[in-house]
Amino acid sequence: MKAYVFPGQGAQFTGMGKDLFDQYSIARQLFEEANDILGFSITEKMFYGSDADLKETHVTQPAVFLHSVIAYKTLNENQLPNMVAGHSLGEFSALVANETLSFADGLRLVAKRANAMQKACQLQPSGMAVVMGIGDEKVKDICSQIDEIVVPANYNSPGQLVISGSLKGLELASEAIKNAGAKRVLMLNVGGAFHSPLMLPAQEELTNAIEETIFNNPICAVYQNCTATPSISPDLIKQSLIKQLTAPVLWTKTIKNMIHDGATQFVEFGPGEILQGLIKKIDSSVEICGKK
């Protein structure tokens, strides 16, 4: 069975999507539609923007979404997925691929999400750090003992976990995690504490937009970040998508559940190869490839 997966923020690079724009008329049509929806030239930022341009949340999230969805629409060789999943932001791309969301509605929600998250980031200095070489439960236990906001945010693969919180919380947790034997703790270059309680203002803002958007019956199940389980109910998909901003991304469990349910081939659509690397660490026996 084929499982299609879609990356999140962090996979962006200058020039992303230009080859698709040059080669496919449908890609040009969708990119031009995106420029109209967003009210600025996202193509200019994606094709020719600097690293600094692409790291701005209101640019990064629509850019990664567009690259992923347009790659899917041009490179999937008309083979429909048996199941889909996306990492964080990538869940919106996955919901377009399984036809829960239209392209336009998906992009509008991503733009709303990006702007809401950027505003939330400005309320308090915060960030994220990747932790390597120590058990997930140990990290979770250490975070729970810190008298600042800091929580596990992304359960990416065995031995790799991202924590999220206030800068003081990250500093205290990082020191304690290193002392507990972690191989490495590295601050990430992101705008704030995604998938933590500090995103609650963004969650509240995004809730109304999600509730007002039409969610269709999907052609296949989406394995959602905050549950790691398959969903086909539009109402349940909405609820989990709202929770996603403040809940951890259960990626390791997601991939294991997809394999348990019959996935034998994973195809990553979008910039980079981040998810391919994580899936190999989770289960090296499955077939993995990327299309971008």
Task: Give the DSSP per-residue string, 59-79.
Answer: HHHHHHHHHHHHHHHHHSTT-
Query: Which tens digits make up the pLDDT trace of 50-64?
Result: 988 888 888 999 999
Listed by start position, the domains of the chain span 2-121+197-291, 126-187
Three-state DSSP class for residue 253: helix
CATH class for the domain made up of 2-121+197-291: alpha beta
Domains 2-121+197-291 and 126-187 share a fold: no
Q: Per-residue pLDDT tens for 158-201? A: 999 999 999 999 999 999 999 999 999 999 978 899 999 999 99
Side chain identity at residue 240, one-letter code: S
Asked if 244 and 225 count as a contact pair (C-beta separation under 8 A), the reply is yes
**DSSP letters for 210-227:** HHTS--PPPSSEEE-TTT
Percentage of residues in the chain with pLDDT exceeding 90?
Answer: 92
Task: Report d(CA 197, CA 128) in Å as an integer.
Answer: 13
The predicted-structure confidence for 115-134, as pLDDT tens digits, reads as follows 999 999 999 999 999 999 99
**Average pLDDT value for the chain:** 96
Please check the confidence at residue 87 and state whether its pLDDT lies above 90: yes
- Please provide the CATH number assigned to the domain covering 126-187: 3.30.70.250
pLDDT of residue 120: 94
Give me the active site residues, please: 88, 195
